[in-house]
Amino acid sequence: MPNVVVAGAAGRMGRILIQALEASSTLALSGAVERADSEFVGVDAGELSGIARKSLAVSDSLSAVLADADVLMDFTVADATDHNVAACEAMGCALVLGTTGLSSAAQRRIVLAAHEIPIVQAPNFSIGVNLCFELLDTAARILGDDVDVEISEVHHRHKVDAPSGTAIAMGEVVARALGRDLAQSAIYGREGVTGERERSTIGFHSIRAGDIVGEHTVMFAAEGERVEITHRAGSRMTFARGAIRAAEWITSQPPGLYGMREVLGVTR
């Protein structure tokens, strides 16, 4: 049974990943890690995540816990990505990466590391969100340039990046289907006298409030009708289940950079 380490074990997503691994019959939690100054270093990982005690203490040494690991799950913060990727590369450990808000330099580092280890990287591991990506591609190709495209996303008040990685990925799917460059088409919010909307643009709007897990809507608006594709997450466990599926899949793959399309077997 493959051994899995969870980075950022004390975080909101880290605790859910530990719960999901505890419920898995195909993967085993072999390590949990936090930054050195965390008050949770030394705490039992099971107790930390609200499940039975596992006699597995949270460590502050990623290299130590990766020694016996097959996969690292990293849903932490962008600043930690370079270190975590380098540690996986050094130990020959596969990586399931869900951290968003990465710099272009960090992304280049991931691409290079994928020559040595298998990596599944996705802005969102929810199976439903990844279904939405396929629906968005179909909708954009059918509706074409006769609609205005607006993307809105809502997350909890603690989320530090905007728009969300999922919203950007949705925009990239739509832009690619329409033959557009998202970097040139994207409009982030509007204020003041902005003039008439250009149909070639794709609008993004972000809301941060309360404890909302995540909501994304893409609107295709034409004269007289509109189509909306929406995904609402009520629990982070939806992301954790997708991450479990990715971790199960990645253990039998050669080095390379993969997405959830490969994990789910989407061939189009």
The separation between the first and the last C-alpha atoms of the chain, rounded to the nearest angstrom, is 31
Span 5-15, pLDDT tens digits: 999 999 999 99
Say what the pLDDT of residue 93 is: 98
Cα–Cα dist 162/155, whole Å: 9
Determine which one of 54, 83, 115, 155 is catalytic.
155
93: helix, strand or coil: coil
Nearest to 218 by CA among 133, 121, 101: 133
**pLDDT greater than 70 at residue 268:** no
My answer on whether 52 and 143 are in the same domain is no
Residue 155: active-site member: yes
**pLDDT greater than 70 at residue 267:** no
Give Cα separations from 134 to 138, 164, 193, 225, 241 (angstroms).
6, 18, 35, 21, 19
Mean per-residue pLDDT, 157-186: 95
Give Cα separations from 235 to 6, 13, 121, 207 (angstroms).
19, 10, 20, 18
My answer on whether 117 and 131 are in the same domain is no
My answer on whether 102 and 153 are in the same domain is no
My answer on whether 182 and 201 are in the same domain is yes
What strands, in cross-sheet order, belong to the sheet with 94-97? 28-33, 3-7, 71-74, 94-97, 118-121, 256-258
Single pTM value for the model: 0.82
Give Cα separations from 266 to 130, 233, 260 (angstroms).
10, 22, 8
My answer on whether 201 and 247 are in the same domain is no
My answer on whether 153 and 218 are in the same domain is yes
Nearest to 206 by CA among 154, 143, 160: 154
Q: What is the CATH number of the domain that holds 135?
A: 3.30.360.10
Mean per-residue pLDDT, 174-192: 96
Contact 71, 5 (CB under 8 A): yes
Mean per-residue pLDDT, 201-220: 97
Q: What is the CATH number of the domain that holds 60?
A: 3.40.50.720
Cα–Cα dist 8/32, whole Å: 8
Contact 5, 31 (CB under 8 A): yes
My answer on whether 260 and 225 are in the same domain is no
DSSP one-letter code for 58? P
221: helix, strand or coil: strand
**pLDDT greater than 80 at residue 29:** yes
My answer on whether 110 and 146 are in the same domain is no
Say what the pLDDT of residue 101 is: 86
Q: What angle do CA 213, 175, 164 make, to 5 degrees?
A: 20
**pLDDT greater than 80 at residue 182:** yes
My answer on whether 140 and 172 are in the same domain is yes
My answer on whether 229 and 241 are in the same domain is no
Determine which one of 115, 156, 158, 159 is catalytic.
159
Mean per-residue pLDDT, 124-142: 96
Percent above pLDDT 70 for the chain:
99
My answer on whether 208 and 100 are in the same domain is no
Mean per-residue pLDDT, 16-33: 95
Considering its fold, how many domains does the chain have in total?
Answer: 2
The secondary element (H helix, E strand) that includes residue 72 is: strand 71-74
**pLDDT greater than 80 at residue 171:** yes
Q: What mean pLDDT is reported for the chain?
A: 95
Span 43-102, pLDDT tens digits: 999 998 888 778 899 999 999 999 999 999 999 999 999 999 999 999 999 999 999 889
Residue 54: active-site member: no
My answer on whether 95 and 166 are in the same domain is no
Mean per-residue pLDDT, 197-203: 96
Of the pLDDT bands very low, low, confident and very high (cuts 50, 70, 90), residue 196 is very high
Contact 48, 40 (CB under 8 A): yes
Token readout for 182 is 């998202």
- Domain extent for 198: 127-233
